[in-house]
């Protein structure tokens, strides 16, 4: 019986954490309090999490008691926050915003947006630098306490804006609407110990610890990652990797890669010829070239074993390369 109760309470804990419903809990930072130094100091991080954020969590849990909001996911609650008290609005925002904030900071150096997010940034703001400038402008113009946001608006485009207090773009009551993917806390408690009144210095420093991998992950929760053409056909990707790293050096006169890897290339071609072809490419004209690729690659491997001249190898390797591009062409 005891074990049964334990399992039931475990399941309750698990389902609550997945749904992110009341009662809410203070999250872990995922890094040490001093990990963001010298940009954000250890004491600020400690107080910010354990005093400020913790108060939002406790106040939110108390304010929600007995309201319908107890049964909603936090995002659902924020979407209809205008129906609730100011206490719920401020503390639900406080909990959501800080939970996001800890994840978009990192001690890891040189994180970067992925290619798709970078293209979206370039399209909307011309460059990452101008995005930073716009964010800092939004953050420094926010009078009093609030947040600056990079968010995905209702047309699925990136936008920059700011909100007062603990509001955010997920709230129906907010002047800006969408899904936040990067938020900068511009409450004085976020920077006063180290920067005092110099909000601008804090805003310049924080870009050193922005976690672009997490911002990218949040971006793709709304904008699905574009599927690569051959994502479902690992054998063709694997063949192409070896081909690219042997053909291009040979073009520049370096035949050592192909002399070392012709056997590997040949076995990748056989694996490709016998692989499960994704339905959209499974047609006779593709299959014909697959077997041609396999035989041209085998012939190349034989020539390598016979220690043929560079010129002979280049001719054979070019035939392999041509067959490969015929496959790609026919897969259009």
| Binding footprint of Mn ion on the chain (CB under 5 A) | 185, 187, 190
Shortest separation between residue 90's beta carbon and Mn ion, angstroms: 12
3-state secondary structure of 106: coil
Q: Which of residues 24 and 125 has its CB atom nearest to Mn ion in the complex?
A: 24
Shortest separation between residue 48's beta carbon and Mn ion, angstroms: 6
Shortest separation between residue 163's beta carbon and Mn ion, angstroms: 13
Place of tokens 């690219």: 244
Residue nearest Mn ion, Cβ-based: 185
Shortest separation between residue 148's beta carbon and Mn ion, angstroms: 12
Burial code (b: 16+ CB inside 10 Å, e: under 16) for 274-307 equals eeebeeebeeeebeebbebbbebbbebbebbeee
What is the signed CA dihedral for 29, 31, 36, 41, rounded to 10 degrees? 60
Q: Which of residues 185 and 301 has its CB atom nearest to Mn ion in the complex?
A: 185
Shortest separation between residue 190's beta carbon and Mn ion, angstroms: 5
Nearest to 145 by CA among 177, 185, 95, 105: 185
Q: Which of residues 185 and 235 has its CB atom nearest to Mn ion in the complex?
A: 185
Q: Which of residues 187 and 233 has its CB atom nearest to Mn ion in the complex?
A: 187
Please state the length of the chain. 332
Q: Which of residues 170 and 190 has its CB atom nearest to Mn ion in the complex?
A: 190
Q: Which of residues 45 and 63 has its CB atom nearest to Mn ion in the complex?
A: 45
**CB 9: neighbour CB atoms within 10 A?**
10
Say if CB 313 and CB 303 are below 8 A apart: yes
Shortest separation between residue 94's beta carbon and Mn ion, angstroms: 7
Helices (H), the chain: 2-19, 42-47, 54-64, 74-79, 86-103, 115-125, 128-141, 192-195, 199-206, 212-222, 234-251, 256-273, 284-305, 310-330
Say if CB 259 and CB 314 are below 8 A apart: no
């Amino acid at each position: 019986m005891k074990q049964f109760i334990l399992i039931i309470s475990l399941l309750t804990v698990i389902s609550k954490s997945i749904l992110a419903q009341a009662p809410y809990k203070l999250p872990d930072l995922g890094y040490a309090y001093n990990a963001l130094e010298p940009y954000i100091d250890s004491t600020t991080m400690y107080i910010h999490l354990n005093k400020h954020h913790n108060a939002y969590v406790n106040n939110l849990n108390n304010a929600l008691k007995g309201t319908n909001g107890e049964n909603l996911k936090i995002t659902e609650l924020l979407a209809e926050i205008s129906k609730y008290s100011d206490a719920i609005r401020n503390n639900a925002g406080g909990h959501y915003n800080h939970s996001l904030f800890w994840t978009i900071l990192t001690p890891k150096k040189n994180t970067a947006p992925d290619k798709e997010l970078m293209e979206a940034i370039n399209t909307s703001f011309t460059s990452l630098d101008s995005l930073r400038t716009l964010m800092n402008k939004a953050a420094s113009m926010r009078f009093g306490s609030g947040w600056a946001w990079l968010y995905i608006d209702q047309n699925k485009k990136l936008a920059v804006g700011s909100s007062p207090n603990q509001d955010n773009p997920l709230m129906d009551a907010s002047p800006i609407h969408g899904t936040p993917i990067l938020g900068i806390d511009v409450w004085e408690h976020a920077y006063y110990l180290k920067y005092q009144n110099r909000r601008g210095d804090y805003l310049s420093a924080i870009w050193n610890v922005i976690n672009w991998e997490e911002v990218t992950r949040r971006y793709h929760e709304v904008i699905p990652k574009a599927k690569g053409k051959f994502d479902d056909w690992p054998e063709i990707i694997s063949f192409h990797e070896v081909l690219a790293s042997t053909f291009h050096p040979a073009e520049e006169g370096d035949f050592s890669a192909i002399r070392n890897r012709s056997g590997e290339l040949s076995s990748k071609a056989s694996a490709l010829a016998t692989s499960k072809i994704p339905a959209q490419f499974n047609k006779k004209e593709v299959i014909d070239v697959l077997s041609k690729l396999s035989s041209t690659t085998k012939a190349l491997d034989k020539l390598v074993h016979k220690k043929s001249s560079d010129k002979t190898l280049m001719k054979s390797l070019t035939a392999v390369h041509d067959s490969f591009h015929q496959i790609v062409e026919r897969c259009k």
